[in-house]
Amino acid sequence: MTFIEMLKGAERRHGSMLCVGLDPEPSRFPAQMKDDAAKIYDFCARIVDATADLVIAFKPQIAYFAAHRAEDQLERLMKHMRETAPHVPVILDAKRGDIGSTAQQYAREVFDRYGADAVTLSPFMGFDSIEPYLKYEGKGAFVLCRTSNPGGDDFQSQRLSSVEGSPLMYEHIAQLANGRWNTNGQLGLVVGATYPAEIERVRALAPTLPLLIPGVGAQGGDAVATVKAGWRPDAPIVVNSSRAILYASSGADFADAARREAQKTRDVLAAAKG
């Protein structure tokens, strides 16, 4: 099954556009695990088990594992997700971008080593830095377009040229991902929930591409405005929330609290479809 098919299947089955982000930070773990990087797998597996029937996808962010030398725990977690929730796609948030020969190695890491269903990529180095990922048939790749952080303005909201009417950088990226870069229909775009007007613009330029939309929860993005701007019946959106769900409680009940927060967020997103 392709990534897109998995995404649409999980959306239907769970009535969900919510992606739970797995950004484990041991200093925020509950008392019995606190500051113990060896517990990263246990913490994340508890979150996965508590929320798997509520999500369209999971999104581990690789930096939170690598920073603690916990890549082996990420491998175990990927295996755990495949075994316990095989119908839920996993997007490895790695934001890779490098020359083709190095990109081939990153692609092997993402798809062969970790077995992810999709990855996040930076478009900054151009198509030859994206192409190696597209050789993995059926896998997905989300290209950064209009990111959720304010610094995204530095490049993404600049005009490509001083000619009136020329596209902004993020519009150009959306056009490329929707057009000549999308050789096998594997691409999606990353757009921040903190910028609903830009989500709407990206949706107009890329009417059916899946959008990965981080920024609800801890970053304060508007969940309802996000759905109205980005969701269409034939175009899935994957709305990520990490910290607000992972750390909904700092007590021993953290997994139950994460489930409650995930359920609440899923329901708010679903209701916004109208």
Would you please indicate which residues are annotated as catalytic (active-site) residues? Answer: 95
Q: Please identify which residue in 16, 51, 129, 148 interacts with ligand LLZGTKA7, judged by CB under 6 A.
A: 148
Q: Please identify which residue in 11, 93, 171, 198 interacts with ligand LLZGTKA7, judged by CB under 6 A.
A: 93
Which is nearest to 204 in space by CA: 186, 176, 230? Answer: 230
Q: Which range binds ligand LLZGTKA7 by CB under 6 A, 24-32, 68-76, 124-132, 211-219?
A: 211-219
Asked if 159 and 22 count as a contact pair (C-beta separation under 8 A), the reply is no
Query: At closest approach, how far in Å is the CB of 255 from ligand LLZGTKA7?
Result: 17
Considering only residues 20 through 59, tell me which ones interact with ligand LLZGTKA7, judged by CB under 6 A.
21, 23
Q: Which range binds ligand LLZGTKA7 by CB under 6 A, 125-133, 156-164, 202-210, 217-225?
A: 217-225
Query: At closest approach, how far in Å is the CB of 190 from ligand LLZGTKA7?
Result: 5
Q: Which range binds ligand LLZGTKA7 by CB under 6 A, 37-45, 46-54, 181-189, 240-248?
A: 240-248
147 binding ligand LLZGTKA7? (CB under 6 A): yes
> How far is residue 248's CA from residue 150's CA, in Å, rounded to a whole number?
25
Q: Please identify which residue in 61, 129, 182, 265 interacts with ligand LLZGTKA7, judged by CB under 6 A.
A: 61
Q: Please identify which residue in 73, 156, 226, 240 interacts with ligand LLZGTKA7, judged by CB under 6 A.
A: 240
243 binding ligand LLZGTKA7? (CB under 6 A): yes
Under the rule (CB under 6 A), what is the footprint of ligand LLZGTKA7?
21, 23, 61, 93, 147-148, 190, 192, 214-215, 217-219, 240-243
